[in-house]
Amino acid sequence: MLADISDPTVKQLRSKITQIMRAIRAQTPPLASMALASTAKGSEIWEGCIDGESIKRVVIYLRSSGCSWAMKPSSDGTPVFKAGCLDCEHSVAGTTFGRAIPAATYVKQFEKEFVKYQDYSEYPMLCVYNEGSMLNEAELPAEARRDILKLIAENKNIKSVILESLPEYITEPILDEARTILGDKYLEVGVGLESCDPMVRHLAINKPFTLQQFEETAKLIRKYCHLLSYILVKPSFLTEKEALQDSLNTVQYAFDVGSDVVSIEPLNIGEYAMSGALNRLGLYRVPWLWTVLEVAKKSHTLGETRLGGYQFAPKYENFAQNCPNCTLRVKEAIVQYNSTNDIAHLTGLTCSCQDEWREELNKDYPYIVDRVQQYVELLGKEYL
């Protein structure tokens, strides 16, 4: 029988998942030294596309005190883990485990990474992430946010800026201020929608906001800038077939409620995340790249999409993949797509492993709630 998220069985299941997830997070190694708080997690260059033109973008990852949804503030650095989004490991890993980072330290982190890329005419798009919510002032103090945005505003070669936040921290005054500081730069605010299915959001992802909240935030963001929605392909507990259908539905929904851009993100396995725990028990395989391509091809006419899933380091087996014969070829095609938005790069790709993928799509599995219940029992034996 189909269940509703308000059913007592589902509620109990969610509470058990929360306990297990906290136990999984508790194994996350702490920072080697608190001195690292003045150093960003890192930065890298990705491909991108602005108005049909291939560009490079710089992505800066600030080191934070931890995402508020995955971790409570802690004055002495003793971590108090929350469940958070089940497949998000970086919300906690590499952070100060809840110990606040002063505004000036954040600005220092940013400056040190920012100056590594001297000529931004080569990198007209800049993404600044704090592995949580850039607009949550408990994570990133307002002074730090303003100073960082001012530094970006001063660089005339940067045309486009991307920030991310949970909806609850996206307020009118903050958007208005960011808009004013950045002047005429293109600004995207990214929100992790992940799925539009209430049961998937509830059990398989553990999102902290409802679709109604998302829709209200979408309207607010669009008043000041552009909305980027992230879609998670194959959250923990989902089968390949469910994942494909869920992502297709979610991309459609994301555009229907006003997303300017949708980023289709296949899940990467995190050692200290639900996917890692399930994978070790043989209960989770990363999404097939064929699934990712199918979502991209069927959604292409709906609006601008970007694709994840081309990463392969450091652990190849933790990223979306097909078979060893075609995985790198398909990943390269994804990079080409992201640089051009030209869907031709994703059509016509074939490999004999597609038969195996189709076979998986046709397999029958127990109903999601019954299946999650079975998996949770097995996880409970490991973690509780």
Q: Which residues bind Zn ion (CB under 5 A)?
A: 322-323, 325-326, 351, 353
Nearest approach in angstroms of CB 326 to Zn ion is: 3
Choice between 114 and 290, CB closer to Zn ion = 290
Measured CA to CA, the distance from residue 262 to residue 227 in angstroms comes to: 8
Choice between 55 and 351, CB closer to Zn ion = 351
Choice between 168 and 356, CB closer to Zn ion = 356
User: Do 240 and 284 touch, CB atoms closer than 8 A?
Assistant: no
Q: What are phi and psi of 177, to 5 degrees?
A: -65, -45
Nearest approach in angstroms of CB 325 to Zn ion is: 5
Measured CA to CA, the distance from residue 129 to residue 145 in angstroms comes to: 11
Q: How many other CB atoms are found less than 10 A from the CB of residue 309?
A: 25
Task: Of 280, 294, 187, 284, give the one whose Cα is nearest residue 235.
Answer: 284
Nearest approach in angstroms of CB 232 to Zn ion is: 23
Which residues have CB under 8 Å from 100's CB, separation 6+?
65, 73, 75
Choice between 81 and 337, CB closer to Zn ion = 337
Choice between 116 and 329, CB closer to Zn ion = 329
Choice between 174 and 353, CB closer to Zn ion = 353
Nearest approach in angstroms of CB 357 to Zn ion is: 8
Choice between 283 and 323, CB closer to Zn ion = 323
Q: Which helix (H) or strand (E) holds 190?
A: strand 186-194
Measured CA to CA, the distance from residue 283 to residue 278 in angstroms comes to: 5
Task: Of 29, 161, 146, give the one whose Cα is nearest residue 95.
Answer: 29
C-alpha distance from residue 136 to each of 21, 129, 149, 220, 304 (Å): 23, 12, 15, 16, 27
Measured CA to CA, the distance from residue 72 to residue 97 in angstroms comes to: 8
Nearest approach in angstroms of CB 349 to Zn ion is: 9
Q: Where are the alpha helices (DSSP H) in the chain?
A: 8-25, 103-114, 142-154, 172-182, 198-199, 211-224, 240-256, 274-280, 289-299, 327-340, 354-362, 368-383
Nearest approach in angstroms of CB 318 to Zn ion is: 18
Nearest approach in angstroms of CB 353 to Zn ion is: 3
Choice between 36 and 323, CB closer to Zn ion = 323
Measured CA to CA, the distance from residue 362 to residue 360 in angstroms comes to: 5
Q: What are phi and psi of 213, to 5 degrees?
A: -65, -40
Choice between 107 and 244, CB closer to Zn ion = 244
Nearest approach in angstroms of CB 238 to Zn ion is: 22
Beta-bridged to residue 188, according to DSSP, are 162, 226
C-alpha distance from residue 137 to each of 64, 97, 101 (Å): 12, 17, 11
Nearest approach in angstroms of CB 279 to Zn ion is: 20
Residue type, 306: R
Choice between 36 and 328, CB closer to Zn ion = 328
Nearest approach in angstroms of CB 287 to Zn ion is: 14
Measured CA to CA, the distance from residue 291 to residue 299 in angstroms comes to: 12
